[in-house]
Structure 1
Amino acid sequence: MSATTSRQPTGPVVPSESLRTPQMRRILASSFLGSAIEFYDFMLYASASAIVFSKVFFAGLDPALATVASFGTLAAGYVARPLGGIVFGHFGDRIGRKGVLVTTMLMMGTATALIGVLPGYAQVGVAAPLLLVALRLVQGFAVGGEWGGAMLIALEHAPGGKRGFAASFANLGAPAGSILSAGMLGLFTLLPEDQFLAWGWRVPFLLSIVLVLVGLFVRLKVVESPLFLRFDQEAEDRRVPLVQVLTRSPWVLVLGTLVAMSQLTISGMASVWGLSYATAHGADQTFALNAKVLSAVALFVCTILSARLSDRFGRRPVIAVGIVAAALFAYPLVMLVATGDNVSFAVAVVGGQAIQGVILGPLAAFLAELFPTSVRFTGSSLAFQGASAIGAGFTPIVAGALASSAGGLPLLAGVWIAVLAVCAAALLLAPEGSKRDLSAIDATTDPTTGPVAGK
């Protein structure tokens, strides 16, 4: 039986002509809600790793070492994301996008709920952090498949001139999930500290179960991607998608990963390292989390606007503006965080997240347009999740080490600017895909470098 049999749409296998059709609205809602729920779970862990886990799961360590260990478990989730992108990308490219999206949501919700009932170091000793790492790996594995599927189900249904905006709905889930997770955790920090550490932080993790049920209700009503269905009917080349990406598109994979790192280093610096450093140097936890909520709103708004602009002016010009702005704001952000002042931290994190949104808006479509339909899930996921592992996963650890080194905060800012310069160079070398027919990318793929720039 063909893999297509159970997924045939009721109409012709073509993208939508408008974003306003009932089916397209359902697809965009599914992309946004599913991604928001997944990133609620994922970013809830990031916030908790900055203010909770060092005290609950690493209580036997020196406070400074406990913080590093807590960030280590955070990094574990980011390391697992490329593996999730590879595995789920394989199935997404071979049997379809929709089934992957249901699986990743169930996996993420289960792992997050289990973290909410996990005993601490005081109860089970070293088993506590080991179990925490295991569940974080499951989270990372799941979100590694979620982003690519949610992004492609929207992008591949969308009309050509609206792809950037449609694909951004998957990215909008990140700030929406951050708003919800930071707001929920911030609410429970109002409890006395002993109650917050004993049980208050666990409630937001357990609420993930309710969110997953809502997301599944919407997601199960979505039809399969028309471009995938067409490929599934006509394709003769059935080689392993990962092998095809590594052998036919290695150059664009590297370029896409480097460009994505520009956005993800901002996330690691402002949202994770910045939160931990500021609260350790005097900033109030509840105020800092509320500032993160405000910053996520700025990220949300800037993501929408920049995605719209990328449909009009192209992906690369809009992303370039974001990278230049990030380089200019790198030193001020680090210095503002270092003050330990509430308002200064708020300015740093809101400004950083707004700039991040400028890059994030076009990024999903930019990465997807680098790869043909046969490997689009695998290629775009591997680029984005690889950048997540390097850029967001290890940035807090590297930032902490540089901040405490002889060079201190100026060195940290300088290294970050150097990384952004490399990202900008990769952007200049990457092809612009906003005006290209997605199906035509299959026919204009160089066998050694991937999609040919300008076609």
Structure 2
Amino acid sequence: MTATSSEPGAAAEADEFELDPRDAARVTRAAFVGTALEWYDYFLFGTAAALVFNRLFFTELDATAATLAAFATFGVGFLARPIGAALFGYLGDRYGRRPALLTTIVAIGVATGLIGVLPTFDAVGIAAPIALAVLRLVQGLAVGGEWGGAMTIAVEHAPKRTRAWYAALVQIGSPVGTLLSSGAFALVLLLPSEEFDAWGWRLPFLAAFPLLLIALYLRMRLEESPVFAELVAQEDRAKVPTVEVFRRTGGRLLVAVMCAFLAVGGFYMITTFAISYGTGIGLDRGLMVNATLIASVAQIFVTVIAGKLAVRWGSAFMVLLGGATTALAAFPIFWLIDQRSPAAVVVAIVLGIVLMTVGYAGTGSALADLFPAALRYSGVSLGYNIAGALSGFMPFLSLAALEAAGNQSWAPALVLVGIAAITALGGAIAGRLRPLD
């Protein structure tokens, strides 16, 4: 087995290892399950930030300030993600994709489960929001290495000609995670308000513990990437991958950030911010959560279709297409929510999620193509999570913009247009760059 690329740090790719497609499918399933738990935990926090944390952990603030504080805590996890990307990127590129992914999944599951046992502000005062922020930081660090690692190990086990398809299958973890978290909250919202506030909201967080056991079992059976094994055999591993990413592929890292911007910031605007906005204009919170639930089901099917199209048209083109169509739909989405009609709200949330998914399905493979194998875990993780750090405060920014505009929805819609346009431009540039493998 020899590497054929002339690029330094590029190992032989999956086609040269004559992988059994069944092995690629098995690895993809293991990556998907871990990613589903990752997003279950992360989406759960976003929903709780809009519905629970503002009232139970920031109770000494007025309603708007409490919501802003809850969203700020939500955004803190995004600031930790680039640090996690550097940390787990180092582990993944130096010591293996598998051990890094085992560590991330445990950290995510434990941090989320512990949120379910936190005392509220009324019980312990300022210690409650501090503990919440700390656990959010742990989540952020672990998520910083999870998605990039799952994507890297999936594409490195897949035949190169079809790896956009396998990468898209890993992305199904996102809607499944949303479906589980939204479904869990939809169920506990059926409880009387007093019981929901007292203990009901905790149940979805505590469910992270049994879900972690399932994900960990599958991850333990995960085989190391053959591409990484080749890097070890050739002694071709970077000493400090993060430094090498910036030094050798800094321009490509910027493109990766642009490509991933909508996948993170835009998504949380249509879920976390939209839930808060909808309840703020008098819509039932159960309706907003259920709309996200319906959108998640649609997202699964769209991811499959978009993954097939990515093999034919290219992952970067799908990123461009998703960004462009979301920018065009931003104002209609918020206009539909403003109608206060349950049907219009569902259409708005589904439309926003579906259009973002067109680009999201191609994001993983597009980012993987931007970096050589020796830097791939770090490069993909940094690109995705720097985008996360920049866009994680979008719900906070959108709420502030909404307040400044006198509660006119054109303000958050304009923020969404900007996010989507950046991703469309990133997809256009990525499509013109040669893959480094």
TM range (shorter): over 0.9
Match of 1:403 in 2: 402
Match of 1:367 in 2: 367
String of CA shifts for 1:148-176, please: whole Å, max 9, x gaps.
Answer: 11111111000112101111233211111
Return the letter of the residue paired with 1:48.
A
Match of 1:239 in 2: 239
Judged with a 3 Å threshold, the aligned counterparts in structure 2 of structure 1 residues 317 and 69 are, in CA distance, closer, same or farther, namely same
Post-superposition shift, 1:17? 4.1
**Contact map agreement 1:58 1:121 (CA 8 A) in 2:** yes
Post-superposition shift, 1:103? 0.7
Match of 1:57 in 2: 57
**Contact map agreement 1:164 1:362 (CA 8 A) in 2:** yes
Match of 1:183 in 2: 183
Post-superposition shift, 1:84? 0.8
**Contact map agreement 1:31 1:169 (CA 8 A) in 2:** no
Post-superposition shift, 1:326? 0.4
Aligned counterparts of 1:55 and 1:15: Cα–Cα separation in 2: 55
Post-superposition shift, 1:14? 5.0
Match of 1:201 in 2: 201
Match of 2:388 in 1: 388
**Contact map agreement 1:315 1:432 (CA 8 A) in 2:** no
| Aligned residue runs from structure 1 range 123-138, under 5 A | 123-138=123-138
Task: Please report the RMSD computed on the Cα atoms of aligned residues, expressed in angstroms.
Answer: 1.8
String of CA shifts for 1:99-149, please: whole Å, max 9, x gaps.
Answer: 111111111111111100000000001110000000001011111111011
1:225 correspondence with 2:206: no
**Contact map agreement 2:320 2:425 (CA 8 A) in 1:** no
Return the letter of the residue paired with 1:67.
T
Aligned counterparts of 1:288 and 1:185: Cα–Cα separation in 2: 11
**Contact map agreement 2:37 2:211 (CA 8 A) in 1:** yes
Deviates more, 1:258-267 or 1:153-162: 258-267
Return the letter of the residue paired with 1:396.
P
**3-state SS in 2 of match to 1:156:** helix
Deviates more, 1:63-72 or 1:331-340: 331-340
Match of 1:453 in 2: none
**3-state SS in 1 of match to 2:370:** coil
Judged with a 3 Å threshold, the aligned counterparts in structure 2 of structure 1 residues 376 and 418 are, in CA distance, closer, same or farther, namely same
Any unmatched runs of 5+ in structure 2? 1-13
Aligned counterparts of 1:348 and 1:204: Cα–Cα separation in 2: 26
Aligned counterparts of 1:141 and 1:308: Cα–Cα separation in 2: 32
**3-state SS in 2 of match to 1:117:** coil
**Contact map agreement 1:92 1:100 (CA 8 A) in 2:** yes
| Aligned residue runs from structure 1 range 52-451, under 5 A | 52-236=52-236, 238-391=238-391, 393-406=392-405, 408-431=408-431, 441-442=436-437
**Contact map agreement 1:273 1:400 (CA 8 A) in 2:** yes
Return the letter of the residue paired with 1:79.
L
Post-superposition shift, 1:15? 4.3
Return the letter of the residue paired with 1:37.
L
Return the letter of the residue paired with 1:365.
S
**Contact map agreement 2:98 2:223 (CA 8 A) in 1:** yes
Aligned counterparts of 1:423 and 1:59: Cα–Cα separation in 2: 37
Aligned counterparts of 2:102 and 2:237: Cα–Cα separation in 1: 27
**3-state SS in 1 of match to 2:423:** helix
Aligned counterparts of 2:15 and 2:358: Cα–Cα separation in 1: 33
**Contact map agreement 2:317 2:427 (CA 8 A) in 1:** no
**Contact map agreement 1:13 1:229 (CA 8 A) in 2:** no
Aligned counterparts of 2:404 and 2:28: Cα–Cα separation in 1: 46
Return the letter of the residue paired with 1:198.
A
Aligned counterparts of 2:371 and 2:262: Cα–Cα separation in 1: 20
String of CA shifts for 1:167-215, please: whole Å, max 9, x gaps.
Answer: 1233211111000011011100000001001100101111111001011
Aligned counterparts of 2:283 and 2:431: Cα–Cα separation in 1: 43
Aligned counterparts of 2:19 and 2:98: Cα–Cα separation in 1: 21
Return the letter of the residue paired with 1:287.
L
**Contact map agreement 1:284 1:342 (CA 8 A) in 2:** no
Aligned counterparts of 2:97 and 2:384: Cα–Cα separation in 1: 17
Deviates more, 1:115-124 or 1:338-347: 338-347
- The TM-score normalised by the length of structure 1 is 0.89
Deviates more, 1:279-288 or 1:338-347: 338-347
Post-superposition shift, 1:58? 0.8
Return the letter of the residue paired with 1:276.
S
Return the letter of the residue paired with 1:208.
A
Judged with a 3 Å threshold, the aligned counterparts in structure 2 of structure 1 residues 87 and 361 are, in CA distance, closer, same or farther, namely same
**Contact map agreement 1:80 1:137 (CA 8 A) in 2:** yes
Aligned counterparts of 1:246 and 1:409: Cα–Cα separation in 2: 38
User: How many correspondences in the alignment?
Assistant: 423
String of CA shifts for 1:274-305, please: whole Å, max 9, x gaps.
Answer: 11110121211122211111111122221221
Return the letter of the residue paired with 2:396.
I
Post-superposition shift, 1:18? 4.7
1:26 correspondence with 2:17: no
Return the letter of the residue paired with 1:430.
A
Post-superposition shift, 1:16? 5.1
String of CA shifts for 1:408-445, please: whole Å, max 9, x gaps.
Answer: 32233234323433332333222457x95xxxx25xxx
Identity %: 37
Deviates more, 1:316-325 or 1:358-367: 316-325
Aligned counterparts of 2:156 and 2:206: Cα–Cα separation in 1: 34
String of CA shifts for 1:322-341, please: whole Å, max 9, x gaps.
Answer: 11210110001122223443
**3-state SS in 2 of match to 1:366:** helix
Deviates more, 1:301-310 or 1:176-185: 301-310
Return the letter of the residue paired with 2:429.
L
Post-superposition shift, 1:320? 1.8
**3-state SS in 2 of match to 1:52:** helix
Aligned counterparts of 1:431 and 1:137: Cα–Cα separation in 2: 34
Deviates more, 1:235-244 or 1:95-104: 235-244
